[in-house]
Chains A and B, each alone.
Chain A
Amino acid sequence: DAKTTQPNSMESNEEEPVHLPCNHSTISGTDYIHWYRQLPSQGPEYVIHGLTSNVNNRMASLAIAEDRKSSTLILHRATLRDAAVYYCILANSNSGYALNFGKGTSLLVTP
């Protein structure tokens, strides 16, 4: 399975944009890029996913590099409730689109 690499932690000020990077240099053409986040003692929560084109939803934006070897999750205005561990995950049909979580990025949001 293709792996992803994320920084262990990042910090942001409240109400500022946050750009969370993810490297996936061995991504295959059929891998979807998923982002989930997890608050302490809770199950993960879906954020966004995409294949080739950039994606926007009410929570965030996903910017995918043209060569698809990296992507960036963008939180447009961080709030204290956005403090969580963010996971960038690749999924394809070979695994039944199961999600294998890496270590993720722990985002700290300060007032």
Chain B
Amino acid sequence: GAVVSQHPSWVICKSGTSVKIECRSLDFQATTMFWYRQFPKQSLMLMATSNEGSKATYEQGVEKDKFLINHASLTLSTLTVTSAHPEDSSFYICSARDPSGGLTGELFFGEGSRLTVL
């Protein structure tokens, strides 16, 4: 079946550095991808909708200058956490929908990327 893959699975960085997380759709082309963040013992929070060839749409309260999203191709979206701080430590998850399933079809989720900022 369709697969969405994230890289890296986990990353540890120093405070003040930037970290890039990649999300790839392996079996289909995705014009839209979604980025989520999940803190321990909490639910997933939608951060932004990544649109191929155009600007991402951010949810209220999510800083677009801090969480840079680039969807340069139909199979790749990247999330860059700029000037990361310990409070940005979280589990970041991307998802995409196979267009052949229609807009109401299932979302395929990546394995998640665990970011720890020291």
Q: Name A residues whose Cβ lies closer than 8 Å to a Cβ of B.
A: 32, 34, 36, 38, 41-46, 49, 51, 87, 91, 93, 96-104
A41 CA to B43 CA, complexed, in Å: 12
B106 touches A98 (CB 8 A): no
Residue of B nearest to A91 (CB): B104
A42 touches B46 (CB 8 A): no
Contacts of A103 in B (CB 8 A): 43
Q: Is the interface of B mostly helix, strand, loop or mixed?
A: strand
Residue of A nearest to B106 (CB): A46
Residue of B nearest to A38 (CB): B44
Contacts of A100 in B (CB 8 A): 46
Contacts of B111 in A (CB 8 A): 42-43
A99 touches B104 (CB 8 A): no
B103 touches A93 (CB 8 A): yes
Contacts of B93 in A (CB 8 A): 43-44
A32 CA to B107 CA, complexed, in Å: 13
Contacts of A41 in B (CB 8 A): 91, 112, 114
B43 touches A104 (CB 8 A): yes
* B24, chain A: closest CB distance, angstroms: 13
Q: CB within 8 Å of A: which of B1-48?
A: 4, 6, 32, 34, 36, 43-46
Residue of A nearest to B44 (CB): A101
Residue of B nearest to A46 (CB): B106
Assuming the A-B contacts A43-B93, A43-B112, A104-B43, are A96 and B107 also in contact, with contact meaning beta carbons closer than 8 angstroms in the complex? no
* B68, chain A: closest CB distance, angstroms: 19
B104 touches A49 (CB 8 A): yes
Contacts of A42 in B (CB 8 A): 111-112
- Whether, in the assembled complex, B109 has its beta carbon less than 8 Å from a beta carbon of chain A, the answer is yes
